[in-house]
Structure 1
Amino acid sequence: MMPFLLAEFAMFENILPLYVYCIGSHEQKHLLRPDGYPAHQLFLCRSGMGIFRIVGSSDLVMTPGTMLILPAGVPHEYFPDQSEDAWELGFVAFSGSASDAILAHLGNRTPTLLKKNQFHKHWNKLESLWQLINLNRENGFWESSRSMYDMLLSVLEEQTQQEVKQRIKPIGQPNTALQEAIKLIHDHYNERLHLSNLARAVGYSVQHFHRLFVSIYGVTPMLYIQQIRMRRSIQLFHENPSMTVEQVAQQLGMETSYFIRIFKRTYGQTPKQFMK
């Protein structure tokens, strides 16, 4: 068990774009929150079974190995099922200017029971994060922010990979040409990638490549490239807080004004507002 810890980083709430609000794990009892919780929460069920009752939606049942995303301010209650095993529930609450954007990718800002996942990997990350905050070392607020981002990114990566696999299933055998196109995009996202060049590189006409890409990945090739660039920009801002907007745009192969416009369209704020 990881006793409840409230992260005492209040003075950094306006500095860190992502920070831990509280963290822990215990044998969960009935809990009612008619006004919701002030921070977003990620729950991990290690054993037993429990029910999340969300106002205005169906009950969400957590079984061992499942995870749940719960946005801030959503009225709810949760309680153990009448099973013999104790309901061991791990949790971490997070907030910050970047938390809404991350949440939008994980659960579209609604309570979401996440799909089958590599649970032990995520639980180990939760324990490491708890230890980090428990030590309360100098500069621990920066380290915990990085660890929180790593954990959420790991969950997002896994969920995204599962969605892609589900889209590929109806096609039958994996499309090696499209897989090669995806590799090209990830290897050269910071260069000028034209649709015609991508299609030609994998041996398709532009129209057939575009149609097949959308049918499998759910977005156009150009929007896929844009999403890769925006996610990379967030990573750059976190890894290098001293980088300017112009430098990040250059790293992505984008003109600064265009980068700012796309960033705001994607995350609802300019890069400078995001970094404050």
Structure 2
Amino acid sequence: MKLTLRSNLSSEEHVVPFTVYTVGMEQQSAISRLEGFSAHQLLITASGKGRVHLLGQNKWDIIEENTVLYIPGGFPNEYVPVADGDWLVAFVSFHGSAIARASWGLGDAPSVIPVRSAARLLELVERIWNHSGADYDTWTASELLFSLLTELRKQSSGDLNPAALLRPAPETSRSSTVLKAAKFLQDYMHRDISIAHLAEQVGYSQKQLTRLFLQTFQTTPLQYLRLVRLTAGQLLLETNESLSIGQIARHVGMEPTYFTREFRRAYGVVPGEYRLIKAQEAREAARSGNAPRRI
């Protein structure tokens, strides 16, 4: 079964404690999010295996069937299938305050949560999906999300530990349509994103959305997406020596040839040259004790 990505960008996020942001089910590809995701994520393995690397860890955790991975918003992470095309994952991402999350044992640290059976969780994900996207129903989707959290709590056999002293997360500017759209482009830069679909999701025409982007960021949505992808590619070149240029290009949603051409246009050198320059700067900085500069 595959449930294509559905997003709820126009939701009233403070009407209920939790609101669903994105939901779906797919064969999971490799993802690197060096600044984390803009919402809190629950990833439920339906079949296959994946590996996840979290900030502060020197190891990769294995995510198997009947396992739920919780990653709080803004927490840097990367995850990959153990074998290409062999990690079927259902996902729900949501917004909610720290106090609301803490009451369910979901704090500001990631968790790998074993469950007795993922079948009921997968059923609830599908039901949330049915009430998202074009058919988004805030109340029903949130009610089903609470049902999913209840089932997760019931099956985790006490593995979730509420952090009752967590303070509420500071309010953000998510209510701004253009900022929601920009966050969505950051979160899903690795996908083939249609600006027409994005505009439809936030309830604006393409012309209106472009005008909002120009007013806020002095750039169009497509130019903003290009910048997001190139910036992510630049960071991956510096921090992931094991990734080829082609792999990095695919991670950020660009064809390798196009990525190389646009990277050179933005930074004056091709990605391979940039990587060599940064490696040399790092060696010199290690000898001198100075931090390497960014191009």
What TM bracket, shorter-length normalisation?
A: 0.5 to 0.7
Counterpart of 1:19 in structure 2: which amino acid? T
- Secondary structure (helix, strand or coil) at the match of 2:16 reads coil
- Secondary structure (helix, strand or coil) at the match of 2:151 reads helix
Query: How many percent of aligned residue pairs carry the same amino acid?
Result: 22
Given that 1:71 and 1:103 are in contact with CA atoms closer than 8 Å, whether structure 2 keeps it comes out as no
Cα distance in 2 for residues equivalent to 1:61 and 1:107: 20
Alignment size in residue pairs: 165
Counterpart of 1:95 in structure 2: which amino acid? H
Deviation at residue 136 of structure 1 after TM alignment: 1.1
Cα distance in 2 for residues equivalent to 1:104 and 1:60: 26
Alpha carbons of 1:5 and 1:47: their partners in 2 closer, same or farther (altered >3 Å)? same
- Secondary structure (helix, strand or coil) at the match of 1:106 reads coil
Alpha carbons of 1:163 and 1:62: their partners in 2 closer, same or farther (altered >3 Å)? closer
**1:156 equivalenced with 2:153 (yes/no):** yes
Matched with 1:101 is 100
Deviation at residue 88 of structure 1 after TM alignment: 0.8
Unmatched tracts of structure 2, length 5 or more: 169-295
5 Å matches for 1:187-266? none
Unmatched tracts of structure 1, length 5 or more: 165-217, 219-226, 228-264, 270-276
Given that 1:35 and 1:75 are in contact with CA atoms closer than 8 Å, whether structure 2 keeps it comes out as yes
Cα distance in 2 for residues equivalent to 1:100 and 1:61: 29
Counterpart of 1:62 in structure 2: which amino acid? I
Given that 1:37 and 1:74 are in contact with CA atoms closer than 8 Å, whether structure 2 keeps it comes out as yes
Matched with 1:112 is 111
Given that 2:66 and 2:114 are in contact with CA atoms closer than 8 Å, whether structure 1 keeps it comes out as no
Cα distance in 1 for residues equivalent to 2:18 and 2:106: 17
Q: Give RMSD over aligned pairs.
A: 2.6
Matched with 2:25 is 25
Given that 1:48 and 1:64 are in contact with CA atoms closer than 8 Å, whether structure 2 keeps it comes out as yes
Matched with 1:80 is 81
* Match for residue 144 of structure 1 among 141, 146, 151: 141
Matched with 1:131 is 130
Matched with 2:287 is none
Q: What is the TM-score with the length of structure 2 in the denominator? A: 0.50
Cα distance in 1 for residues equivalent to 2:87 and 2:19: 27
Cα distance in 1 for residues equivalent to 2:159 and 2:77: 27
Q: What is the TM-score with the length of structure 1 in the denominator? A: 0.54
Alpha carbons of 1:29 and 1:5: their partners in 2 closer, same or farther (altered >3 Å)? same
* Larger helix fraction of residues: 1
Cα distance in 1 for residues equivalent to 2:167 and 2:55: 27
Matched with 1:173 is none
Given that 2:21 and 2:94 are in contact with CA atoms closer than 8 Å, whether structure 1 keeps it comes out as yes
Cα distance in 1 for residues equivalent to 2:25 and 2:158: 27
Given that 1:9 and 1:141 are in contact with CA atoms closer than 8 Å, whether structure 2 keeps it comes out as no
Cα distance in 2 for residues equivalent to 1:101 and 1:124: 24
Cα distance in 1 for residues equivalent to 2:45 and 2:143: 23
Cα distance in 2 for residues equivalent to 1:61 and 1:49: 7
